[in-house]
Amino acid sequence: MCRYFLVIDDIWDTKTWDVIKHVFPMTNCDPSLDPAQAGATCTRLPFIIITTTRMGDVACSCCLSIGGHIYNMSPLSMVHSRQLFHKRLFDSKEDLPSHLEKISEEILKKCDGLPLAIIAISSLLANKERSEQLWNQVKDSIGRALERNPSIEGMIKILSLSYFDLPSHLKTCLLYLSIFPEDSIIQKKVLIWRWIAE
């Protein structure tokens, strides 16, 4: 008997799931049987499929297709948010300077326990000087995007901070990557030659 365990990460739409789900055999039936009789002799194959998504309709579609369960992930607690923030911010066991503690707490509140937002902001701040004024600018530029819209649009606003902080020549290089299909393998040599040709 065939068993399988599968994890499909970050499904963005129901159309994608509709294509994927037909690849997996859900039953073990004798193909020589008449379909009307097959129901009595078919057995469900033992399998586990875990899908991750940020979209509620995709989660429902996956759940209905395989008779599963939706598990909603909670955001990180403030303690875990702080740990992730500090881990990304400091390479060593260095402590956060006391003059930045209050600002970092305010930044973490705006990130609302979302790991991607925390990683994006802490990575941005890791390359900056540890000045109160600069950290306040970053905090203020976050705004309340995630509080108003915790979905993809809010996350895009957070991630755009890192993009807009890049020097102009790196922005151009990053934008150039958009000509390649999502999840494709980009050969370094091909990319460099295309940049040179531009």
112 shares its domain with 160: yes
Q: What percent of the chain has pLDDT over 90?
A: 5
Kindly state the DSSP code that residue 97 receives in the 8-state scheme: P
d(CA 85, CA 81): 6
57 shares its domain with 98: no
186 shares its domain with 152: no
The length of the chain in residues reads 198
CA atoms within 13 Å, Cβ hemisphere of 164: 10
Strand partners, 19: none
pLDDT of residue 78: 93
Q: Which residues, including other chains, have CB under 8 Å from residue 56's CB and lie 6 or more apart?
A: none
Q: Give pLDDT tens digits for 48-106.
A: 888 888 788 888 888 887 777 888 888 899 999 999 998 888 765 567 788 888 999 99
pLDDT of residue 93: 58
Classify residue 32 by burial, with Cβ atoms within 10 Å: 0-12, 13-18, 19+. exposed
pLDDT of residue 149: 54
148 shares its domain with 84: yes
**Domains: count for the chain:** 3
pLDDT of residue 27: 58
176 shares its domain with 156: no
d(CA 111, CA 50): 26
Which of the four pLDDT bands, split at 50, 70 and 90, describes residue 128?
A: confident
Confirm whether 197 is domain-assigned: yes
pLDDT of residue 178: 77
Going by C-alpha positions, the residue among 52, 105, 101 that lies closest to residue 81 is 105
105 shares its domain with 146: yes
Higher pLDDT, 43 or 55: 55
State the pTM of this model.
0.59
Instruction: Specify whether the CB–CB gap between 157 and 143 falls below 8 A.
Output: yes
Which of the four pLDDT bands, split at 50, 70 and 90, describes residue 177?
A: confident
pLDDT of residue 63: 82
Confirm whether 72 is domain-assigned: no
Least confident residue range of 91-105, 124-138, 147-161: 147-161
160 shares its domain with 179: no
Higher pLDDT, 129 or 155: 129
> Is 50 exceeded by the pLDDT of residue 43?
yes
Confirm whether 60 is domain-assigned: yes
90 shares its domain with 136: yes
Confirm whether 122 is domain-assigned: yes
d(CA 8, CA 29): 26
Structural domain boundaries enclosing 113: 78-165
